Amino acid sequence: MKAIVKSKPERGLWIEDVPMPAVGPNDVLIKVKKAAVCGTDLHIYKWDEWAQNTIKTPVTIGHEYMGEVVEIGSEVDRVHVGERVTVEGHIACGFCRNCRRGRQHICDNTIGIGVQRDGGFAEYISVPAKNVLKIDSRIPDELLSIMDPLGNATHTALSFPLLGEDVLITGIGGPIGAMATAVCRFAGARNIVGTDLSPYRRKLARQMGATLVVDPLKENVQDAMRSLGMVAGFDIGLECSGSPIAFNDMVENMYNGGKISLLGLLPKTTQINWSKLIFKGLTLKGIYGREMYETWYQMEMMLTSGLDISPVITHRLKADDFQKAFDIMEEGNCGKIILDWE
């Protein structure tokens, strides 16, 4: 079968013929229909420091995808051939303390599909049946293929109550920030203010429901607050940029007792004003993946009740044109890019 493979420890990806994946007794074989390119995939493509420390070549990449079940293992009884499905990308062990207390998303022994094992940028993928999700048929294939990153956005946004709250989102125009914007709007936030360096992505954030989007090189958050009639800081902060400058700006503009979801990967060298965190009584929560499987339930209910994230899909390409997809990703003028495997 065809697959997009990180076959060498250097910049680039290659489409190759690889063996069909084995299907164990508890596994499901899926014929991939749609897949989406993630920032993680771009890290692997660029072969940056994170990728060099994490990826063992060769590996088929990709962890955002959907398709049809074409074969099931001998022990599988709740997934059936012919079903349209997507997949939770983190395989939890099921036995560590966190798994046994319902915190699979921070399992001690997590294995990432498309990172530590072969992923979904291929014609077929074999995955554990426990990770397979059959989702409401009213949700289109393209949206089904990006429920993994929507899950990150949902986990980030819904970690704290939003009704009537003022929200600040750094990196608002990236796919996660943009989808988090739509979730905040859907969940009843009052003002949703964001910062982003990219004009393209600032426009995307406005499409997704942001009240006001700031270019941090030319404007500041305090002026945005004044223009909206805000007399104090933000109640909720969603850090999606990974920028130390943006994070410090967020801390500066939080209201006392505010709560911050940290999704962006800040550099090890990041310095913050700890006294601000302490004297403001701020709460920080690290966000990793999706809370399994409550986040999936929340996504499905929102998508079938009026949440519209379709503007975040900005490009559609054939799987053979994956190089163009990664070129576009590097330029940054995009939301989600869908690869068609049909």
Q: How far, in Å, CA of 94 to CA of 107, rounded?
A: 8
- Domain membership flag for residue 72: yes
* CATH code of the domain in which 165 resides: 3.40.50.720
Residue 133 token pair: 């999700």
In the three-class reduction of DSSP (H, G, I as helix; E, B as strand; rest coil), residue 328 is classed as helix
Residue 280 DSSP class: H
Q: Are residues 111 and 193 in the same domain?
A: no
Residues making up the annotated binding site are 38, 63-64, 93, 96, 99, 107, 176, 196, 201, 263-265, 287-288
Closest listed residue to residue 312, CA positions, set 210, 237, 228: 210
Q: In a structure prediction context, what are the per-residue pLDDT tens digits for the chain, which is 342 residues long?
A: 999 999 999 999 999 999 999 999 999 999 999 999 999 999 999 999 889 999 999 999 999 999 999 999 999 999 999 999 999 999 999 999 999 999 999 999 999 999 999 999 999 999 999 999 999 999 999 999 999 999 999 999 999 999 999 999 999 999 999 999 999 999 999 999 999 999 999 999 999 999 999 999 999 999 999 999 998 999 999 999 999 999 999 999 999 999 999 999 898 899 998 999 999 999 999 999 999 999 999 999 999 999 999 999 999 999 999 999 999 999 989 999 999 999
Distance (Å, whole) CA 208 – CA 182: 5
Neighbouring CB atoms inside 10 A of 242's CB total: 18
Which residues does the annotation place in the binding site for Zn(2+)? 38, 63-64, 93, 96, 99, 107
CA–chain centroid gap for 214, Å, is 22
The model carries a pTM of 0.94
Please return the burial class of 122, using the count of CB atoms within 10 Å of its CB with bins 0-12, 13-18 and 19+.
buried
- Does some domain include residue 154? no
251 assigned to some structural domain: yes
Amino acid at 126: S
Q: How many residues can be counted in the chain? A: 342
Pair (270, 316) in one structural domain: no
Does 223 fall in a domain?
yes
> Are both 167 and 254 inside the same structural domain?
yes
Any domain includes 35? yes
User: Rounded to whole angstroms, what are the CA distances from 123 to 106, 140, 319, 324, 342?
Assistant: 30, 20, 10, 19, 8
Binding residues for NAD(+): 176, 196, 201, 263-265, 287-288
Give the catalytic positions in this structure: 40, 43
pLDDT of residue 49: 87
Alpha carbon of 213 to those of 66, 200, 240, 282: distances in Å? 32, 12, 14, 23
Cα 184 to its chain centre, rounded Å, is 15
Q: What is the CATH number of the domain that holds 332?
A: 3.90.180.10
* Predicted local distance difference test score (pLDDT) of residue 212: 97
Give the number of domains in the chain. Answer: 2
Q: What are phi and psi of 265, to 5 degrees?
A: -85, 100
Residue 293, amino acid: Y
Range of the domain at 49: 2-146+309-340
HEC profile for 122-180?
ECEEEEEHHHEEECCCCCCHHHHHCHHHHHHHHHHHCCCCCCCCCEEEECCCCHHHHHH
pLDDT at 268: 86
**How far is the C-alpha of 329 from the C-alpha of 326, rounded, in Å?**
5
Question: Could you tell me if residue 152 is inside a domain?
Answer: no
Q: Do residues 35 and 114 make contact, with C-beta atoms less than 8 angstroms apart? A: no
| 319 located within any domain | yes
